[in-house]
Amino acid sequence: MLDIRELTIDFPPSRKRKAVRALERLSLRLAAGESLSIIGESGSGKTTLIRCVSAHVPPTFGTVSLFGADLSKVSDGELPALRRRCGVVPQDPYGSLPPSLTVLEAVMEPWLLVKGRGDRQAGERKARELLDELGIGREEILSSRVRLSLSGGQRQRVAIARALVLDPELLLCDEPTSMQDASTRGDILRILQRRQEAGMAMLFVTHDLFLARKAARRGLVLYRGEAVEEGFCRDFLAAPKHPYTQALVAALPKLTSPETTPASESGA
């Protein structure tokens, strides 16, 4: 499904900044139905990775094979066909939806683009199912314009629905639950898990180790473009090896052992 070997991406220097090496010799493989968590903070190259897999950023060195096709050898005309089999949930929920459409139209748009107007009814049904599943099935929301009344959390869920409407074989999500409240986060992860059991592969990018562990069994920790630790997510938390991973674990605020502020424990 996805085979990345020694992927290196350099951004050439521009007026604003020097040359940047966004990814360095990254390798990962995903089979159908498998998921992988990419744990990284800003500047780690995680967003560049996603954009590379969806063929918006070309590799400088190394190969990326998507559904068996080497992306650097595929012609521009053939790329849309490959991209349609991926779903992408971008990091910024405010840029990921067209503001002038209604919520329902926004979710249906990829379907209508790919399958044409003839299949409109089926597309609408599918969009409604998805939105309902994600908890935003109320009619007032479906028919309201995206720009007007959605909160960040709602937008993110609509963006997820939009990414899932074409039943992608591979889902690329970049912090898809960042704007969600704690209660809905679990719901969304369960929805994604159901799809995985039905055969969808997933690349789940997040900076939250707990979320990464819940989303996928395997993962890799990305720091400044390099994979510093790979393996099972639960091992990252239980026994982190690389100092960066250790710092991440230490920095996570945990309810199970809240720290106390000196001169304060008397509470009340």
Partner 1 sequence: MRDLRTRWSFWCLLLMVLTALFGGRLFDAPPEREVAAPFSKPLWIDRDLPPTKELRLTADAPSLRVDWRFAPPSRFSIRIDSSAGESGRFVEWRKPGALAPLRLAPLKAGFEADGRDIAFKRSLGLPPFGDASASLFSEQGEYELSLSGEGDFDGSVVVKLEGGRWGVLGTDQRGRDIAALFVAGVRVSLIVGIFATLLATFLGTSLGLASGYLGGWVDSILMRIVDLLLSIPLLPVLMALAALWGKGLWQLVLILSIFSWMGTARTVRALVLTLRDAPYIEGLRGLGAPSGYILRKHLLPETFPVLLATMTLGVPGAILSEAGLSFLGLSDPRVISWGRMLHEAHSFGAFTAGAWWMLLPPGLGIALLCLVFLDLGKFLEERVDPRLRKGVRP
Partner 2 sequence: MISIRNLSITYGRMTSRGRSGETEAVKNLTLSVEKGRLFALAGESGSGKSSVLMAIPGLLPEGTRVSGEILLDGRNLAALTEEELNALRWRRIALIPQGAMNSFTPVLTVGRHIEEVLDVHLGLSKSAARERTGELFGMAGLDASLASRYSHELSGGQKQRAAIALALACDPDWLLCDEPTTALDVITQKGIVDTLKSLVDRKGVGMLLVSHDLPLAASACSRLYIMKNGALVEEGAPREIVARPKNPHTAALMNALLELEREE
The binding site for partner 2 (CB under 8 A) comprises 41-42, 148, 151-153, 179, 181-183, 185-186, 207-208, 210-211, 214, 234, 238, 247-248, 250-256, 258-268
Q: CA 235 to CA 228: how far, in whole Å?
A: 14
Segment interacting with partner 1 (CB under 8 A) among 12-20, 67-75, 90-98, 255-263:
90-98
Helix axes 120-133, 152-164, angle to 10 degrees: 140
Interaction of residue 56 with partner 1, rule CB under 8 A: yes
Q: In 235-267, which positions are buried (b, 16+ CB within 10 angstroms) versus exposed (e)?
A: bbbeebebebbeebeeeeeeeeeeeeeeeeeee
Q: Does residue 110 touch partner 1 according to CB under 8 A?
A: yes
Q: With CB cut-offs between 5 and 8 Å by kind, which of partner 1, partner 2, none does residue 83 bind?
A: partner 1
Does the footprint of partner 1 cover residue 72 (CB under 8 A)? Answer: no
Instruction: Give the nearest distance from C-beta 86 to partner 2 in angstroms.
Output: 27
For residue 82, give the nearest of 162, 209, 172 by alpha carbon.
172
Q: What is the DSSP letter of 119?
A: G
Complex with partner 2: residue 152 or 199, whichever CB lies closer:
152
Continuous segment of H or E residues that includes residue 66:
strand 61-66
- Give me the least distance between CB of 97 and partner 1, in Å please: 6
Write out the residues near partner 1 by the rule CB under 8 A.
54-56, 79-81, 83-84, 88, 90, 92, 95-100, 109-110, 113-114
